[in-house]
Structure 1
Amino acid sequence: MNFARNALLALLAGFISITAQAQNSAETQQHIQRVTSGLIGGIVLKGHESETRTLADRMKELNVPGVSIAVIHNGKIEWARGFGTRDGSGTPVDAQTMFQAGSISKPLAAMAALHLVQTGKLTLDADINTYLTSWKFPSDPIAAGKPVTLRELLTHTAGTTVHGFPGYASKDPVPTLIQVLNGEKPANTPAIRTEQPPMKEWKYSGGGYTIMQQAVIDVTHEPFPKLLHDTVLAPIGMTRSTYEQPLPESLRANAATPFRGDGKPVEGGAHTYPEMAAAGLWTTPTDLAKYAIEVELSLEGKANHVLNPDMTRQMVTPGMGHWGLGLEIGGADADPYFSHGGANEGFRNIFAAYEKNGEGAFVMTNGDNGGQLGDEVMHAIAAEYHWPDWHPTVRTAIQVDPKILATYVGTYALFPNFDLVVTVENGQLITQATGQPSFKMYAETETKFFPLVFPAELEFVKDDKGAVNAVILHQGGHDMKAPKK
């Protein structure tokens, strides 16, 4: 990269930063105040006003020590702020504090792969084994003779295994990427293989992105962090971002420490993720905002620091499962947004940005309960900036006879040493899981109940004699039955 290009990138990063500072006006301060005092749960009751909470209260209740937020408005970063603490010493989070991005690593890694497509080093629809030299994806009768392609890997339609990766604690040995691909010790996940034919259905696979990571390493002969720095991070001006795993010592001075849902720090600190394309990015909401602005400007033909407009359009075109090439696509056809979430050990993050109107928000947290908090922050931002999407779901609740509610009271065994306790207080059903806060539950039917703060349902089950003997937790596409103790 020559001096002139470095100077241009520095100017670009500086322009974005100066623009954010210039808009730090009284109006912006009012936006921040209303967002941080107006958190909204994922569900509201029909006929009732949304109950709002403060960010500080919800951070305390959910045991999330630190949060960092950036908002883009009219195509520019309007504000970026840190809240709470980044570690056990009480050091505050600021806009420059780095967090593990989790699966938000994927869309930026996909952008790098598409850059290689654009420059002719990869193609989207060839057998991925064409580009793999240090390892080959094994053929499997399940694939019905269909080769796996880069397009399918990026869109989660390749039929590959391994949803996600837990990473490696500081005391544990870290496998090579090929050991991860083969499921060989010390890897802690199974081999990445075929579980259904390509393009049969959409199924999220971090394993697919790990295959992609090996492919781009093989065609470029460069370490993955360097490739991502040179092709994506530096050109966009993402100066507080890296795919280095573990995080280099020189960057740890302002990096967040991960925390569990009970408020205790993750033992040994941040996990290491050799699966860098799937989960290896360290970044900030401000840098993610720069990425989103680059995508928006490229779609308008006003920027091509990484991809040309045609390739960017392919990236955000929804296919099976409403996914583009590395991004989930939502909203109305006339006003779509692109988004992604991320979850590593002790980190939870989310972002969404609109393709056309220059609006977006980016939330990063250093707590396992930060996913719920991030959703509530996104709802508050959507309300404040009048987004057409990201609003709570409206549901109708009915009254249930107190005598029926009384039959549900008890303790239900979800997992070993993890119970769900059901009580009734003043005619209101209350649930509390081991080590978790309690939640009010509202009746959809006499046997089905839902909370307001996250998408889930409880369904009480009776035996042949009509006695309640179990509850089924419906959440995240899973149904978990818990017998009554």
Structure 2
Amino acid sequence: MKSTMFACTVVACFLGATAHARPPADRDVAELADAIQRGLRPSIVKMGEPLPAWTLQERMAHHKVPGVAIAIVKDGKLAYAAGYGVRETGTRDAVDADTLFSVGSVSKMITATTTLQLVSQGKIDLDRDVNAYLKSWRIPDAPGIDRPTVTMRMLLSHTSGLTVHGFKDYLPEEALPTLVQTLNGTPPAKNKPIRLQREPGTRADYSGGGIMVEQQLIEDVTGQPLDAVARAQVFERAGMRRSTFESPLSAARGNIAKAHDAAGALTALPRGWQSFPEQAASGLWTSANDLGAFVAALIRSYRGEAGVLPPGITRQMMSEVAPGTRGLGPYLAGSGSTRRFFHNGDNDSYHAAIEGYPETGYGFAILTNGENGYLLRGEIRNAISDALGDGIKPTIRTVALDLSAPVYADYAGSYRLDPVVPADVLGALPDWFGYESISITVANGAVTLALPDESPANLSPLSPTRFLATSVGAELEFHRNAHGVVHALSVVDGGSRIYYRRNAAPATSTATAGSVGGRGP
């Protein structure tokens, strides 16, 4: 009954919201908007099965996400923005293009753009020791690290060697830490101290902690809080009139998408939304209109048109920094017409994404206010890719294999990380798949991956040697040598690869050694 009531509420308010959305004048944009509403699909389908085509309201109800806002960019301009569903379940408070959502780590893109504005003005040098700028706090020396110099280029590209992947949300009644308390990991901060864990510049390792160092540097250099600096350097230049780093967000701002749990129930009561005091890393509140305008401004900046950054510094922003695959802020992928920058954002009850294609001028922003929003976000992303016809998110078809056949039995065993694989080959994979040891079992017609402190993951075959670990978000490729022996496997994500050598003795259980890292928020 609760699920039915939730679905009816979403559908009713979805129809109301779309009825008030301005229809796109551009035919291509209209087709994109229609695809978003009617063309959602899964990422993985078994070979031979028909491909589902879902409506947005169906999937909002399925995932119990009350509200969504989406912006479409064309030719480097915001072409369409609309809200779907409601700000609060059980009400008729419709989401619109100006509704404020928390966008998690998408915040890092605005922070990076703020920093790069200061770089373009000569106030920050990308390759100078950040301790030379910091006044209120400094990165402490770390035992065993001979060259502890951290630069802004390293902070922006997540190659700084600093700790703390992400941060926990704060409920309305909880005290909020100051920036220095967050950096030191002292109460009421919930995180550990932000410290060096390896020599800077030697490995890509996502660090929300490093972004908080970036915030402290911005505030020390300018003498102003991040929100004021971002307003002058980014919000006003990009036309982001509703965006703010305010923490906690004041109810007086109005038109706020409230937080909902996995069952679609209102949470973070009595206010209805959490606080994110780690502003630079995850504290931005923004709207579809604003976030779409930001994506558009970055595309124009890259093209040398009137945007938010000078073109030279934008091209640095959009160039990979080894040994990772990120630029100075964004994730980067593709080439030619599919060259793109992107970033996801995930707080407990809010999930967002941005993506832009500098060569074609297309882009989009997705904002949601439910704990399962990350699932819905992926299905919306599939619809956009299909409508653009860019081939970025093709349907993955799994194949039917008799995994009980003897040829697959010797995939089973324990595998240990090969430490000599160059960091440039590893890319960003160690961020979330840095396990020292993994284990494979083959039983009952299934191949299963076991990881420390996680539930076993069934692997879906893509070929006789290549399998998809859906819950992990990567592919596994087994290597059988010329002697017919399975001696290793690779974990593959795009152009990044981690190599595991098989232990001499087959595994007798799914127990594994400790992890040196794992997928974070």
**For this structure pair, what is the TM-score category when the shorter chain's length is used for normalisation?**
0.7 to 0.9
Q: Does 1:294 align with 2:297?
A: yes
Q: Secondary structure of the equivalent of 1:290?
A: helix
Q: Which residue number corresponds to residue 166 of structure 1?
A: 168
Alignment partners' CA distance in 2, 1:261 and 1:109: 29
**Are the equivalent residues in 1 in contact too, given 2:99–2:288 (CA < 8 A)?**
no
Residues 1:284 and 2:290 aligned together: no
Aligned to 1:337: 340
Partner of 1:354: 357
* Matching residue of 2:386: 383
Contact 1:350–1:364 under 8 Å retained in 2: yes
**Offset at residue 47 of structure 1 (A):** 4.4
Distance 1:132 1:390, change over 3 A: same
Please list, as runs of the form range in 1=range in 2, the aligned pairs for 1:316-335 lying within 5 A after superposition: 316-320=318-322, 321-332=324-335, 335=338
Tell me the equivalent position of 2:133.
Answer: 131
* 1:274 Cα deviation after fit: 1.8
Shift of 1:455: 4.0
Q: Which stretch of structure 1 is more off in the superposition, 289-298 or 449-458?
A: 449-458
> CA offsets, 1:418-456, max 9 Å, x none?
xxxxxxxxx999xxxxxxxxx99966699x986989947
Counterparts of 2:206 and 2:27, CA distance in 1: 43
Matched, 1:368 2:371: yes
Query: Does residue 39 of structure 2 align to residue 43 of structure 1?
Result: no
In 1: Cα distance, 2:286 partner to 2:119 partner? 25
CA–CA separation in structure 1 for the residues paired with 2:193 and 2:96? 39
- Structure 2 residue aligned with 1:303, among 306, 314, 327? 306
Quote the residue 2:217 is aligned against: 215
Distance 1:76 1:471 in 2: 52
Q: Which moved more, 1:285-294 or 1:211-220?
A: 285-294
> Which residue pairs with 1:84 in the alignment?
85
Q: Equivalents in 2 of 1:455, 1:151: separation in Å?
A: 28
| CA positional deviation for 1:297 | 1.2
Contact 2:29/2:74 (8 A) holds in 1 = no
Residues matched between the structures, number: 414
Distance (whole Å) between structure 2 residues aligned to residue 280 and residue 233 of structure 1: 15
1:127 positional shift: 0.8
CA contact (8 A) 1:327 1:338 kept: yes
Q: Distance in 2 between matches of 1:106 and 1:328?
A: 11
Deviations 1:215-269 (A, max 9, x none): 1100100011111111100111011211111113331x20101111122222233
Following superposition, the deviation at residue 73 of structure 1 comes to: 2.4
| Cα deviation, residue 212, structure 1 | 0.5
Shift of 1:299: 1.6
Aligned to 2:399: 396
**C-alpha offsets along residues 169-210 of structure 1, whole Å, 9 cap, x if unaligned?**
111111111001001111110000011111111110100000
Partner of 2:500: none
Gaps of at least 5 residues in structure 2 are: 1-20, 405-444, 448-456, 477-507
Higher deviation after alignment, 183-192 or 81-90:
81-90
Question: Equivalent residue for 1:240?
Answer: 242
Instruction: Sort the Cα spacing of 1:265 and 1:441 in 2 relative to 1 into closer, same or farther, 3 A.
Output: farther
SS at match of 2:262: coil
Distance of 2:97 and 2:155 partners within structure 1: 33
State how far apart, in whole Å, the 1-side matches of 2:237 and 2:74 are: 22
Identity of aligned residues (%): 35
Change (3 A) 1:198 1:85: same
Q: Is the counterpart of residue 314 in structure 1 residue 316 in structure 2? A: yes
SS of equivalent to 1:362: strand
SS of residue paired to 2:110: helix
**1: distance between equivalents of 2:60 and 2:402?**
31
Structure 1 partner of 2:229 = 227
Cα 1:478/1:307, change in 2 over 3 Å: closer
Matches within 5 A, 1:243-262: 243-251=245-253, 253-262=254-263
Aligned equivalent of 1:148, options 144, 150, 155 = 150
SS in 1 for 2:141: coil
1:31-76 per-residue CA deviation (whole Å, 9 max, x = no partner) reads 4233322112122334444322221121112111111111112333
Specify which structure has the bigger relative contact order, considering alpha-carbon pairs within 8 angstroms and separated by 6 or more residues: 1
Shift of 1:28: 4.6
Aligned to 1:270: 273
User: Match of 2:281, as an amino acid?
Assistant: A
What residue number does 2:64 align with?
A: 63
Residue of structure 1 equivalent to 2:484: none
Decide which moves more: 135-144 or 186-195. Answer: 135-144
Deviations along 1:341-371, whole A, 9 cap, x unmatched?
Answer: 0011200111211011111121110011111
Structure-2 change in CA distance of 1:193 and 1:443 (3 Å): same
TM-score by length of 2: 0.73
Partners of 1:217 and 1:149 in 2: CA distance: 16
TM-score normalised by L of structure 1: 0.78
Q: Tell me the distance in 2 between the aligned counterparts of 1:296 and 1:307.
A: 10
CA gap 1:367/1:457 in 2 versus in 1, 3 angstroms = farther
314-323 or 258-267, larger mean C-alpha shift: 258-267
State the distance in 2 between where 1:142 and 1:48 align. Answer: 56
Residue 195 of structure 1 is matched in structure 2 by: 197
- Provide the secondary structure at the position in 2 that maps to 1:184: coil
2:186 is matched with which residue?
184
Contact 1:105 1:278 survives alignment (8 Å): yes
Cα deviation 1:254-293 (Å, max 9, x = unaligned): 0101111122222233221221110111011221121111
Are 1:361 and 1:378, in contact at CA under 8 Å, matched by a contact in 2? Answer: no
The answer to whether the 8 A contact 1:143-1:197 is kept is yes
Q: Structure 1: state its 5+ residue gaps.
A: 1-19, 402-426, 430-438, 459-467, 480-485
Amino acid at match of 1:43: I
Cα contact 2:81–2:292 (8 A) shared by 1: no
Aligned counterparts of 2:26 and 2:127: Cα–Cα separation in 1: 49
CA separation of 1:196 and 1:186: change in aligned 2, threshold 3 A: same
Partners of 1:99 and 1:283 within 8 A in 2: yes
User: Equivalent residue of 2:137, what SS?
Assistant: coil
**Contact 1:162–1:190 under 8 Å retained in 2:** yes
Q: Report the residue type matching 1:368 in the other structure.
A: E
Q: 1:315 to 1:445 in 2, by over 3 A?
A: closer
Secondary structure of 2:376's aligned partner: helix
State the shift of 1:331 in Å: 1.3
- The structure-2 alpha-carbon separation of the partners of 1:51 and 1:453, relative to structure 1 and needing over 3 Å to count, comes to farther
Equivalents in 2 of 1:456, 1:270: separation in Å?
32
Partner-residue secondary structure (3-state), 2:96:
coil
CA distance in 2, matches of 1:215, 1:138: 15
